[in-house]
C-alpha cells in the first residue's frame, strides 16, 4: 500500500498557522495540528479498512530473524520532529513486515485475540478522549458504563445475580487479585498488615493443566511456588475432585492452611473443563476460596447449551473471562467477577487525601478493585461490540466456531494418518500426525515438531503445540470475528500436504 502524496493539508491550515508555516515550514508540518490530524485520521481509516480486507495476503508470521527489525531502526531518537509521511512510510517498510497477523484467516495458534470493527472504532474514541478512569470523578460515564456493561455480561454468561464485575487488563492480573483476596480472607487480613509473620503455610490448589499465570501469581502473592499443589487430572485432562479433597486433607493433617483452589473452564493446552460442582462443594466444606479461570472458554457460556460447563458456578468466589480472547473485543479487556465485593475492596483499597472525593460513599472507585491505580476506559469497546452484534449475533458466531471445531475433530478422527489427542468440547482441536507405520513415541514427537516448524515457516498458516501426557501435540483453534469453515478446510489442506511431503 502506498500511503501519502503531497501534503496539501498544509494549505488548508488556518491563516495564523499558515503564516507560521511560512516562517518555519518544516516545523509547522511536524506539529500535527488539528487540521493535519483530521486529514491523517481519514487516511488511516482507509488504511485500516484496507487492512481488514487484505489481511489474508500477508504471511501469517513474518520471515524475520531475531534482531532484524531492531537493526533497521535508528539507535537514537530523532532530535527534530519528522513528518507523518516518514513515520507511516517506516511503519509500512519496517514494522508491518515484522508483524504476526493475529486476524489472518490461517492463524490457528495460541488462543485468538479477536478484534472487530466496532471494537476498533471504540478504541479510537477511547484514545481520542484520553481519559484516565481511575475513580468515578475522573470520568463518571466510564465508571457507570463499566458497571452497566459488567451487569449485562453477567446476565449474558449466566453468572449468579448477586456477583459484581470489574474490567481488568488481563486474566493474569485478575487471578492475582483473586489469590490476594483469598490470602487475606484466610488470614483475617493479617498479611496486609504484618506480612507472613506467624502465618501457617497457605496452600493453593490447581490441576496440573492450570495456566502458567497461576504459578506466576502464586509466586507473586507470596505463597511460594512450593505451596501450589498440582492436582492430578482424569483422561479428559479435567481435575479429579477426590484428589483435591485428599490434598486438602493431607495439608490439614500437616497443619497447613488450605486457602484457594483455582478451577479451569477451558485449559490452555486442550480446553479441558474442571467439574465445578464437586470442586465447589469440597471448597465450601473446607472453607477454601474458589477462583474459576475461564479466560478463554468463558465466552462459550453465552450459549445456553454450553452452560453445563458452569454447573456449580454459584459455589465459586470469583470468576475471570477474557472478552479480548473470543468475544471480538480488542486486547485488553478482562472481565473479573466476585461474589464478595467487600473482600476485594478490603484487600485493595487505600484512600490517600489527594484521591478523596465527595462522592466516595456513593460510587465505585475502580482503583480499589485491582492492582493499578490508573485505568483505561475499556468498557466502551465491549459496549460497542455487544450492541453491534447483539446477544444473538454473538451467540451465532460462537455456536458456529464450536460447530466447526467439532467438524474438524471428526475429520481428524476419520483420517488414518492423524490422531486426536484430547476431547474437543469447544473449537480447539488437539491432534498429531501419526502415520500407520510409525509406532515409537520419540519418532512421533520429532515428526510432529518438524511438521509444525515447516508449516509455520511457510508463512501460510500458524499453529502452536503443547504436550499432553508427555506427547507432542499440535493445537488448532479459530475464533476470530470473521473466521469461516472454509478457513478450517484450507488449514487442514496445508497440514495434509505438509505431512504427505515427509516421504
Ligand X SMILES: *Cc1c(COP(=O)(O)O)cnc(C)c1O
Interface ranges with ligand X (CB under 6 A): 111, 170-172, 211, 213, 264, 266-268, 293, 295-296, 322, 334
**Can you tell me the distance from the alpha carbon of 217 to that of 233, in angstroms, rounded to the nearest whole number?**
21
346-355 contacts at long range (C-beta below 8 A, 24 or more positions apart): 346/184, 346/189, 347/177, 347/180, 347/181, 347/184, 347/189, 347/192, 348/177, 348/180, 355/134, 355/135
Sign of CA dihedral 98, 102, 104, 110: positive
| Of residues 309, 336, 308, 311, the one with CA closest to residue 322 | 336
Q: Which is nearer to ligand X, 172 or 181 (CB)?
A: 172
C-alpha cell at 482: 470473521
Cα gap 258→391, rounded to integer Å? 39
If the CB atoms of residues 58 and 110 are measured against ligand X, the closer one turns out to be 110
- CB nearer ligand X, residue 334 or residue 347: 334
Contacts of 482 (CB under 8 A, 6+ apart): 103, 105
Q: Which is nearer to ligand X, 269 or 395 (CB)?
A: 269
Taking the complex as a whole, how short is the minimal distance between the CB of residue 428 and ligand X, in angstroms? 10
What span, in angstroms and rounded, lies between the C-alpha atoms of 391 and 301?
A: 12
Closer to ligand X by Cβ: residue 154 or 211: 211
The span from the CA of 141 to the CA of 447, in Å, is 55
Measured CA to CA in angstroms, residue 451 lies from 50, 220, 226, 455 at distances of: 33, 37, 37, 6
Picking from 203, 201, 316, the residue whose alpha carbon sits closest to that of residue 259 is 203
Least distance CB 102 / ligand X (angstroms): 13
Q: What values do phi and psi take at 286, rounded to 5?
A: -105, 10
- With respect to ligand X, which residue has the nearer C-beta, 72 or 216? 216
Minimum CB separation of residue 3 from ligand X in Å reads: 32
- The torsion angle over the Cα atoms of residues 176, 179, 183 and 186, rounded to 10 degrees, is 160
Q: How far apart are CA 393 and CA 482, in angstroms?
A: 12
CB nearer ligand X, residue 135 or residue 264: 264
Smallest gap, in angstroms, from Cβ of residue 248 to ligand X? Answer: 22
202-207: strand order across its sheet: 164-168, 334-338, 318-321, 289-293, 257-264, 202-207, 228-231
Q: Closest by alpha carbon to 274, among 285, 286, 258, 262?
A: 262
Rank residues 140 and 372 by Cβ distance to ligand X and give the closer one. Answer: 372
> Whole-angstrom Cα distance, residue 232 to residue 207?
6
Cβ(170)–Cβ(217) under 8 Å? no
Given the complex with ligand X, which of 164 and 268 has the nearer CB atom? 268
Q: Report, in Å, the least distance between residue 263 CB and ligand X.
A: 11
Nearer to ligand X, 39 or 113 (CB): 113
CA–CA dist 368, 388 (Å, integer)? 31
CB of 34 to ligand X, least distance (A): 36
What's the grid cell of residue 346? 478490603
Compute the least distance from the CB of residue 343 to ligand X, in Å: 22
Residue 143, exposed/middle/buried by CB under 10 A (0-12, 13-18, 19+)?
buried
Cβ nearer to ligand X, comparing 336 with 404: 336
Distances (CA, A) of 279 to 202, 227, 272, 274: 19, 19, 15, 8
User: Whose Cβ is closer to ligand X: residue 105's or residue 266's?
Assistant: 266
Tell the smallest beta-carbon distance from residue 267 to ligand X (Å): 6
Amino acid at each position: 500500500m502506498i500511503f501519502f502524496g503531497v501534503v496539501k493539508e498544509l494549505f488548508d491550515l488556518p491563516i495564523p498557522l499558515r503564516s507560521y508555516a511560512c516562517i518555519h515550514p518544516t516545523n509547522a508540518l511536524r506539529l500535527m495540528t488539528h487540521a493535519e490530524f483530521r486529514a491523517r485520521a481519514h487516511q488511516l481509516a482507509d488504511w485500516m479498512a484496507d487492512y481488514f480486507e487484505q489481511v489474508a495476503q500477508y504471511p501469517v508470521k513474518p520471515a524475520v530473524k531475531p534482531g532484524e527489525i531492531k537493526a533497521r531502526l535508528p539507535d537514537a531518537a530523532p532530535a527534530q520532529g519528522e513528518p507523518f509521511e516518514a513515520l507511516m512510510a517506516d511503519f509500512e517498510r519496517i514494522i508491518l513486515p515484522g508483524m504476526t497477523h493475529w486476524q489472518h484467516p490461517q492463524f490457528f495458534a495460541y488462543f485468538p485475540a479477536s478484534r472487530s470493527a466496532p471494537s476498533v472504532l471504540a478504541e479510537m474514541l477511547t484514545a481520542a478522549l484520553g481519559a484516565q478512569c481511575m475513580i468515578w470523578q475522573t470520568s463518571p460515564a466510564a465508571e457507570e458504563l463499566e458497571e452497566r456493561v459488567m451487569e449485562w455480561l453477567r446476565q449474558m454468561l449466566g453468572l449468579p445475580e448477586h456477583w459484581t464485575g470489574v474490567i481488568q487488563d488481563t486474566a493474569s492480573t485478575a487471578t492475582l487479585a483473586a489469590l490476594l483476596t483469598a490470602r487475606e480472607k484466610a488470614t483475617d487480613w493479617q498479611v496486609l498488615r504484618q506480612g507472613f509473620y506467624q502465618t501457617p503455610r497457605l496452600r493453593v490448589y490447581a490441576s496440573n493443566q492450570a495456566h502458567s499465570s497461576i504459578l506466576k501469581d502464586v509466586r507473586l502473592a507470596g505463597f511460594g511456588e512450593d505451596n501450589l499443589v498440582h492436582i492430578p487430572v482424569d483422561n479428559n485432562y479435567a481435575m479429579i475432585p477426590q484428589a483435591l479433597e485428599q490434598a486438602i486433607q493431607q495439608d490439614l493433617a500437616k497443619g497447613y492452611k488450605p486457602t484457594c483452589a483455582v478451577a479451569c473452564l477451558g485449559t490452555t493446552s486442550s480446553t479441558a473443563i474442571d467439574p465445578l460442582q464437586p470442586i465447589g462443594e469440597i471448597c465450601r466444606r473446607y472453607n477454601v476460596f474458589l477462583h474459576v479461570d475461564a479466560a478463554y472458554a468463558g465466552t462459550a457460556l453465552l450459549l445456553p447449551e454450553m452452560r453445563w460447563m458452569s454447573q456449580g458456578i454459584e459455589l465459586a468466589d470469583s470468576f475471570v473471562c477474557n472478552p479480548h480472547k473470543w468475544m471480538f473485543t480488542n486486547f485488553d479487556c478482562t472481565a473479573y467477577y466476585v461474589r464478595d465485593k467487600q473482600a476485594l475492596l478490603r484487600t485493595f483499597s487505600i484512600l490517600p487525601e489527594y484521591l478523596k472525593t465527595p462522592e466516595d460513599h456513593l460510587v465505585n472507585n475502580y482503583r480499589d478493585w485491582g492492582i493499578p491505580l490508573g485505568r483505561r476506559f475499556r468498557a466502551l469497546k465491549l459496549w460497542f461490540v455487544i450492541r453491534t452484534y447483539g446477544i444473538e449475533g454473538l451467540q451465532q458466531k460462537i455456536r458456529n466456531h464450536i460447530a466447526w471445531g467439532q467438524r474438524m475433530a471428526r475429520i481428524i478422527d476419520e483420517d488414518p494418518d492423524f490422531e486426536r489427542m484430547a476431547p474437543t468440547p469447544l473449537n480447539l482441536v488437539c491432534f498429531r500426525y501419526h502415520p500407520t507405520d510409525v509406532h515409537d513415541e520419540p519418532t512421533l514427537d520429532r515428526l510432529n515438531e518438524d511438521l509444525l516448524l515447516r508449516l509455520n515457516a511457510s508463512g501460510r498458516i500458524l499453529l502452536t503445540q503443547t504436550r499432553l501426557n508427555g506427547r507432542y501435540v499440535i493445537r488448532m483453534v479459530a475464533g476470530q470475528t470473521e473466521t469461516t469453515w472454509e478457513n478450517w478446510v484450507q488449514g487442514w489442506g496445508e497440514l495434509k500436504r505438509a505431512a504427505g511431503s515427509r516421504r
